[in-house]
Amino acid sequence: IVMACNTIHVYRDQLISQSWYKDILSLSEIVSEYFQNITDDIAILWTPITTTCWLYTFDNCNYDNPSIENLNKIWEVVNSYNATWDTKNNLEVLENIIDIHKSNGTKYYVAACTEISELLRNYDDESIIIIDTLELLISKVLQKIIKTKKR
């Protein structure tokens, strides 16, 4: 089973324990692997709902996460994008939040929501690195499929 939504991964362990599905990839573990040797500051671009869980909290990382005000703006972007598909205005809000963190020296940004991944897919700023959790998940799924087929 592949769960593409970041928020659903909060319930992964519960799903495993209450069903026969045992081989559900952990998005948290996949992202953690990516950050294993990174010492620069990271900003997690997520919604207020996912900030209260353990999903992207790793001991070895330094965080420069959005303020509550900006988390609420991200939540509004997610809702607006789902309702309107307005890329231009919603991307502008995300760019403004990224600019705040760039001024702090933050280099890495985790697109920790499906809609944020979609909006930042073509974001072009060579001074930062956008980590798309969906791309990491897809890459891991493909690796697993190839490994399974070689058996």
Query: pLDDT by residue (tens digit) across 105-124?
Result: 999 999 999 999 999 998 98
CB 53 within 8 A of CB 10: yes
Residue at 6: amino acid letter: N
Mean pLDDT of the chain: 89
CB 111 within 8 A of CB 133: yes
pLDDT confidence bin for 87, thresholds 50/70/90: very high
Q: Mean pLDDT, to the nearest integer, of 20-44?
A: 88
Residue 27 pLDDT greater than 90, yes or no: no
